[in-house]
Amino acid sequence: MTFPVEKVRADFPILQREVNGLPLAYLDSAASAQKPNQVIDAESAFYRHGYAAVHRGIHTLSAQATESMENVRKQASRFINARSAEELVFVRGTTEGINLVANSWGTENIRAGDNIIISEMEHHANIVPWQMLCERKGAELRVIPLHPDGTLRLETLAALFDDRTRLLAITHVSNVLGTENPLPDMIAPVPKPGTLITIPSQMLLPDAPREGVIVNLAELRLYYYPPGENRVQVYPIGIGLQGLETPVMDTRIGQKIPNPTWTPTAGIRQRSLERGITLPPVIPAGPNNPLGRYALRLAHGNGEYLIHGTSAPDSVGLRVSSGCIRMNAPDIKALFAQVRTGTPVKVINQPVKFSVEPNGIRYVEVHRPLSPEEEQNVQTMPYVLPAEFTAFRNAQGVDSRLVDKALYRRAGYPVSVSAGQTPAVNTTAVESAQNGFVGEEGQTRATQ
């Protein structure tokens, strides 16, 4: 699958002209981006047939214009995988957007003595707003210097960070140097030597039979219980996006497929065409295959749902698929080697899990629910709680205030809600609703 360069160029009228006797190669999009036919035609149609103020009128044209704009907000939120369309704020450009953050978030959160870190390669628009904010608040602006080759001197980053660092504002790709910065390495907190780092690795097992494969959509996790063994393996997954949700199901593994080929469906082809990408009829096995090197076909329906690897590892942990379940390459390889055709698979949706442990401590683990529509805020979206949970919340030994706090925070890891109890400080892991606890190598061992 290759990017259709000439097809995309044909969408831009200005790229059909010559400048100084040569085909135009336009490299100033950071300042003024050229527009494709689709944008030009859409704007022209709006001015000709639908122009009206949005969110201000009650007449038909205003209502139609408002609906069109909000539909664009939903599409854009889906494109960037935002949790909700409400997270998107339309601005006229990056400069306005950065100034908006500086004058809203910055005004509320930056205090005298705090510091903000930028780099020496930043565009003017990512320097001046922070300079002005620091001057106004009595904060310090710190700068990551450059190597002679135009890359950041990352070895200086640890010295710049301290407990008063409030913001790291770094470009991903420099519009002048073309340098691509390693953001995943930079955005992780840089602690001082000796700092204790706590990474939550505990979880409650879902309320489901401890056999075969259990997929809990709400927590984006897959659990595998090896037959005859008293343990469970836990893997992160990616699932279907809004409108193409991975369904709840009771099924089994119908087929094991090593080195799968991929035949895109009509719907996938159409969505790809809308992005300017024409997919071939069949994508062969190999590193560019979206299914990865291993696939498990589920017996549900017509066999259209798979558990498979991916050529886009960043998609694991997100809602981005067309309904299939994605896994990291090492994880699907390990699972593929262990399961057999006929292994039961149960897909559930349990955002709230709870347990009473053998030592009497009560726990809840609350995840954000899966929203069926982009505009819903998953942080405030109400839960449908089972009757068993209501009984658990109101039971003796449970602090209902801690339960309500956990439901509000939706932190995604187990918290104790015991009334008047403090977990032992030497507890190595949280036991689960099924009496399982996190063991070595990221697996979860179960106890009877």
Active-site residue 308, yes or no? yes
Alpha carbon dihedral 80, 84, 86, 88, in 10-degree steps, equals: -10
Phi, psi of 189 (to 5 degrees): -55, 145
Residues 6+ apart with CB under 8 A from 148: none
Name the amino acid, one letter, at 370.
L
400-437: b (≥16 Cβ within 10 Å) or e: eebbeebbeebeebbbbbbeeeeeeeeeeebbbbbebb
Q: Which helix (H) or strand (E) holds 215?
A: strand 212-216
Residue of 124, 147, 300, 324 marked catalytic: 324
Residue of 49, 124, 308, 367 marked catalytic: 308
Q: Which helix (H) or strand (E) holds 74?
A: helix 60-79
- Listed as own residue / partner, the contacts of 179-187 with beta carbons closer than 8 Å and 24 or more positions apart are 179/121, 179/150, 179/151, 179/152, 181/119, 181/152, 182/154, 185/154, 186/154, 186/157
322-349: b (≥16 Cβ within 10 Å) or e: bbbbbbbeebbebbbeebeeebebbbbb
Which residues share a beta bridge with 238?
326
Q: Which helix (H) or strand (E) holds 117?
A: strand 115-119
The 8-class DSSP code of residue 186 comes to H
- The encoded tokens of residue 343 equal 């292994």
Picking from 220, 164, 221, 150, the residue whose alpha carbon sits closest to that of residue 192 is 164
Phi, psi of 169 (to 5 degrees): -115, 100
Active-site residue 134, yes or no? no
- The encoded tokens of residue 249 equal 């199901």
Please state, in angstroms and rounded to a whole number, the distance separating the CA atoms of residues 259 and 286.
7
DSSP string of 314-333, one letter each residue: GGTTSEEESS-EE--HHHHH
Please state, in angstroms and rounded to a whole number, the distance separating the CA atoms of residues 75 and 149.
39
Q: Which helix (H) or strand (E) holds 61?
A: helix 60-79
Active-site residue set: 308, 324
